[in-house]
Structure 1
């Protein structure tokens, strides 16, 4: 039974409660902060990597668009080539002989070969008639056979529906026509002929898929990552993942992957980059390990603080409690060690004074008991006087009892007020903890924003520098176009001279009669060659004029962009300074919140001591009220027997002896 009471006392001990509150509060706070930091770091890394991969994918898409745009430009040149259109008309004319058609096809094939020779990336070129007649297909040298199956016809129908716009045909495992040695994709356009619609051809440029591999060779999405190009219906055009087949459905994604997508403005395809989230978040494991370490350290510190609080508060209270138990058993000589100047030390001093006063009271009562025995004979003489005195004592005792009851009532009100103060302090402490967490998050966000502003300043300066370099190169290109124009003037003059020479040769051949017919044929061919050269020079001259106009417009745009870049750089620098100032202000706010929280904890400790003191006052008041009521009862009894005081004097002597024996139990 004694062991059970000891265990219950330990469970109800204020020291145990203080230790548990301190330990659980510190460990819980550190654990919550660690988990929140770990979660925020994971999300920040995901966002940053996703943004970086999105930018990388955007630059890759721009690079692919620039490469393929140059080939669409070649198809546009063929579309406006008047000589090629004339040859298409002659080939499809019923008046053109077979020999002439063969010669024209050979000439066209030579043009295709020259285009392919100037662009090694092109695998093959084909001109397919609008009627999709297999026998009239014109191919460049080295092109594979063309088999008009249903799949190919469906792709060509899409080109015809585009009505002169460029169409990109997705990658096929064995090429567009099924006979290539490697996968390839194609760029196709209908070469429209407004004069003779039946003479329209489809130009198809076929490219090996290794062109895309070379374009994206420097892209890296980490271990287990891949880059895939998908059509509008999610079919694979190209993938760095060998497990994905060309033309198959796009890859399936899981929750452990980070996926970014970037559409291509030229092809209509979508570039998709995939990386493993596990590889990206490897560094956050350090934060998690640090969190566990801090939790262990916090637990150790909490144990030390709890032990200190137990020694500071609980042990002195337990000592005073033990002394009161001894005093209850009759030992009035016990005294508390009065060390220090805190509340507990003052409580010990009050306890010592109380025990001293009680000891003095017991000594005085003992002396009074002896005197009562000696003066019992005199009780009869003073009975009347005692009656009046007892009446006054009864009145005074009633007043004392009422005062003690009022004091106990006021003590209960004080307890309620202290509880209200305690609840208010707990709410304020909880609010401060929430403000501390929010301030920490805001500080982290401000620091991250300041870092981003510094990066943005660097990018803005780099953009301004690149714009200046681009403007310089455009000026150089403009000078080059002037040189080209001079060269065209020289070639035009040569063409005129060649035409004049062919005319003179024809005249001389006519004068020579039958002997000059062969020479006349040669002169006619030279004249036609001069005419063709003249047409080509006109075409090149027009294109040169268009390039010069576009360069002028580009120079104007770049010159207007430069002031905007300067304003942007100034604004970004101002924003970076603002974020830095905000971070300093938040540091001051966090310091003030920490100081407020510490003060609230100190108030909590003082409140607990105040509760204990008020409880003691209430207990003493109740004891005083009970004692007063008892004295009042005795006084009334004394009043009722004052008339029989003489007869009871001997009984009074006996009672005095008993009282003396009881008082002897107290050690003073």
Structure 2
């Protein structure tokens, strides 16, 4: 029973049924789910765009409202009348009447502003000392309550340096004294000339004003609208208990991705995303940054509020998939009837034919592929029946032929063994001849290697001889240059002797010149002495002349010293010249002998070079003779190699003939064996054909 189920499951009909069923169901499911998620995405995009547009409009309205209060605070900051009244109220030198009048004008101005705007909870000018007595407020506002929280908020106004500062909606107002939530804007009214007249201006807006502004804004059926700070703190919410708490759903950092302009030139409304709330429910979130305080208006609603209509499409998809499954079952059953059943019947008939029953036939009436397959099966079985009958007749013929083939194969095997023995003897002789030829070839190769070594030695000697000749040429050239240099030195020695003689004569001439100069110097010294004596005799009248005489005597002494120095130097120069002449006269014969030796060495180098050139010629002739001998050795080696190759080829051919003869003998024996096997196979074929039914 189990085998029947496996066969039925693995049948072609069952496979076609599964393919059709799975294809139809899968395509229907994919198409339905794709349509569902596409429709869901389109709905979410449209809702996000519409909600985003509503958020943008509400944010613009809120920005406009808050901008009005900032403009109002700027008017107070630049109002000269209010500024003068504040200075008067804080001037201690002003009388009580003037001060009271100024304070009355301040309060009436605050009351008029508050009465003109019903959305305003109150307006207050808070003293920098935070004392209620020194502050001014409109009617209907509560008293000042100071604590650490109020002081911290006032410190923010102080740090803003006159710029407006917005504080989130607080459940009981800025001072925690109101009965309803309020939104507060603070600004420092600066006065550079009178710092004591500076006040903190606080404009408190009712939280209900923002609620009424956002009443028409609805995100989904259960959506909420909130205003949050960049850190995620809740500035405004419909539930006042949430004020000041941290929002669970955070708005993305707006500084990382600014709005990009669309084709119309305005900002793109792509401020939307989905996130989970505290309960884990998916929410569609749309947001728009406000121009006041860096806050962001955020609205969100459950995604299920918008996708409920798309769920109908999911139910339709499931219904279509179910219907497609039923249709696929019907189509599969039809395929089983039209394809699976005929193929199963044909497989059963093939199994009967496999057992040897050649009488089986199909009875398919259809003209499709299965019908054609049944007709082909019938024709195939008829041809197999005819083939079995012919095979029986052929087996009888093969059986008689194999007996004759056994006899002929025995005769051929005997002759092949005789040819193989004769060929083996011929192969032995050829092998001996090949060994002798190989030995002679190796001797010729050894002789060639020795000749090659001689050639290499001659080449090395040739290179060395060439180097020696080149070195001899360089030595000859060097000796020639040395001879020329020695002759030049000898010429210089002769010039030194001539110059020394000239210097000796110049020294004698200098001495002859110095002698008159010494005499003149002595005479000048005597004249200077006489002039000094005469100046002394003249007394005061000859004082100037005496000074001149002293100077002349000093000059004469200096000249005498210089002449003595020159004379001494001249004597030393003369002595050095005499010494130089002596040395040069002694060195001149030595240079002559050195030149003679150098010339003899140059001649020796020339003879060595000529001898080496003759030796190089002999080496060249020897190398040429060795090269001719190598050529003859190569010819002899080639001849021996040819002989060895011919012998080896003859030996190989003989061995091949012997091998072929041996193989022929083996083949003959195998032929005898195959003939026996063929006879046995013919008997077996004849017996096997008997098992086919319907063969004649």
TM (norm. structure 1) is 0.53
Between the aligned partners of 1:67 and 1:104, the Cα distance in structure 2 is: 30
**Is 1:324 aligned to residue 347 of structure 2?**
no
Aligned counterpart in structure 2 of residue 637 of structure 1, from 660, 664, 679:
679
Match of 1:143 in 2: 141
- 1:351 pairs, out of 372, 377, 394, with 377
Residue 247 of structure 1 corresponds to: 244
* Alpha-carbon contact 1:390-1:636 (below 8 Å) kept: no
Cα displacement string for residues 122-141 of structure 1 (whole angstroms, at most 9, x for unaligned residues): 22111122333321111122
Give yes or no for contact 1:230–1:270 (8 Å, CA) kept in 2. yes
Q: Does the 8 Å contact 2:398/2:679 carry over to 1?
A: no
State the alpha-carbon separation in 2 of the partners of residues 387 and 179 from structure 1: 132
Deviation, structure 1 residue 84: 1.4
The aligned counterpart of 2:608 is none
Alignment CA distance shift 1:187-1:7 (3 Å): closer
Seen in structure 2, the aligned counterparts of structure 1 residues 25 and 100 have a Cα distance that, compared at 3 Å, is same
Sort the Cα spacing of 1:13 and 1:634 in 2 relative to 1 into closer, same or farther, 3 A.
farther
Query: Could you say which residue in structure 1 is the equivalent of 2:316?
Result: 290
Q: Are the counterparts in 1 of residues 343 and 370 from structure 2 also a CA contact under 8 Å? A: yes
CA contact (8 A) 1:390 1:635 kept: no
CA distance in 1: counterparts of 2:112 and 2:224, whole angstroms: 37
Return closer, same or farther for 1:120/1:359 CA change in 2, 3 Å cut-off. same
Partner residue in 2 for 1:337: 363
> Which range moved further: 20-29 or 53-62?
20-29
Shift of 1:249: 3.4
Between stretches 272-281 and 214-223, larger displacement belongs to 272-281
State the Cα deviation string for residues 185-231 of structure 1 (Å, max 9, x = none): 22221112232222112221112110011110111123332111224
How many residues align? The count is 401
2:308 partner SS: coil
Q: Could you give the per-residue CA deviations for residues 331-376 of structure 1, whole angstroms, max 9, x where no partner exists? A: 544432354444333322221212333455678899x89xx9xxxx
Compared CA separation, residues 390 and 46, structure 1 to 2 (3 A): farther
Q: Secondary structure at the match of 1:28?
A: helix
Residue in structure 1 matched with residue 645 of structure 2 by the alignment: none
Residues 283, 662 of structure 1: alpha-carbon distance in 2 compared, 3 angstrom cutoff: closer
- Once the two structures are TM-superposed, the CA of residue 661 in structure 1 deviates from its matched residue by 8.7
Residues 1:59 and 1:356: Cα distance change in structure 2 (over 3 Å): same
Distance, in Å, in 1 between the alignment partners of 2:52 and 2:144 is: 40
CA distance in 1, matches of 2:398, 2:55: 116
Taking a change above 3 Å as real, the CA distance of residues 229 and 27 of structure 1, as seen in their structure-2 partners, is same
Residue 312 (str. 1) matches residue 338 (str. 2): yes
Residue by residue, what CA displacement relative to the aligned partner does 1:565-611 show, whole Å, maximum 9, x if unpaired?
Answer: xxxxxxxxxxxxxxxxxxxxxxxxxxxxxxxxxxxxxxxxxxxxxxx
8 Å CA contact 1:124–1:143 kept in 2: the answer is: yes
Cα offset, 1:640, TM superposition: 11
Conserved 8 A contact 2:389-2:695: no
Which structure 1 segments of 5+ residues have no match? 373-378, 393-631, 642-654
Displacement, 1:318? 1.8
Instruction: Quickly say closer, same or farther: Cα 1:100–1:48, change in 2 above 3 A.
Output: same
Give, in whole Å, the separation in 1 of the partners of 2:69 and 2:192.
23
Distance 1:348 1:280, change over 3 A: same
Pick from 307, 317, 323 the counterpart of residue 281 of structure 1. Answer: 307
Cα pair distance change 1:359/1:388, threshold 3 Å: closer
Deviation at 1:660, TM superposition (A): 11
Deviation, structure 1 residue 162: 0.9
Out of 13, 24, 27, the position equivalent to 2:25 is 27
1:103 equivalent among 91, 101, 104:
101
Distance in 2, Cα, partners of 1:198 & 1:328: 122
Are the aligned partners of 1:148 and 1:177 in contact in 2 as well (CA < 8 Å)?
A: yes
Contact 2:399 2:679 in 1 (8 A): no
Judge conservation of contact 2:405–2:675 (CA < 8 Å) in 1. no
Shift of 1:116: 1.9
Partner of 2:71: 73
Contact 2:361/2:378 (<8 A) preserved: yes
- Check whether the contact 2:123–2:203 (CA below 8 A) recurs between aligned residues: yes
Are the aligned partners of 2:386 and 2:695 in contact in 1 as well (CA < 8 Å)? no
Give deviations 1:352-401, integer Å, cap 9, x for gaps.
Answer: 212333455678899x89xx9xxxxxx9xxx9996499879xxxxxxxxx
Q: Does the CA contact (< 8 Å) of 2:235 and 2:244 recur in 1? A: yes
* Partner-residue secondary structure (3-state), 1:178: coil
CA distance in 1, matches of 2:210, 2:181: 11
For the residues of structure 2 that align with 1:204 and 1:84, how far apart are their CA atoms?
A: 15
The counterpart of 2:155, out of the listed 154, 157, 161, is: 157
Quote the residue 1:169 is aligned against: 167
Bigger Rg, structure 1 or 2: 2
Judged with a 3 Å threshold, the aligned counterparts in structure 2 of structure 1 residues 384 and 40 are, in CA distance, closer, same or farther, namely closer
What secondary structure sits across from 2:287 in the alignment? strand
The aligned residue for residue 300 of structure 1 is 326
Over aligned residues, Cα RMSD in angstroms? 3.9
Show the 5 A alignment for 1:216-227: 216-227=214-225
Q: In structure 2, how many angstroms separate the alpha carbons of the residues matched to 1:640 and 1:227?
A: 102
* Alpha-carbon distance between aligned partners in 2 of 1:306 and 1:364, rounded to the nearest angstrom: 46
Alignment-derived partner of residue 11 in structure 1: 9
Contact 2:402 2:676 in 1 (8 A): no
User: How far is the alpha carbon of 1:5 from its aligned partner?
Assistant: 3.9
**CA deviation after TM superposition for structure 1 residue 310, in Å:** 2.6
* Secondary structure of residue in 2 paired with 1:262: strand
* 1:267–1:352 Cα change, 3 Å: same
Q: 1:103–1:299: structure 2 CA closer, same or farther, 3 Å change rule?
A: same
The match for 2:427 is none
Match in the other structure for 2:433: none
- Tell me if structure 2 keeps the 8 A contact 1:227–1:241: no
Q: Secondary structure at the match of 2:217?
A: coil
| 1:170 Cα deviation after fit | 2.1
Per-residue CA distance 1:452-475 (angstroms, 9 max, x = gap):
xxxxxxxxxxxxxxxxxxxxxxxx
Aligned counterpart, 1:61: 59
1:404-434 CA deviation, whole Å, 9 max, x = no partner?
xxxxxxxxxxxxxxxxxxxxxxxxxxxxxxx
Q: Distance in 1 between matches of 2:399 and 2:167?
A: 131
Runs of 5+ in structure 2 lacking a partner? 250-276, 407-673
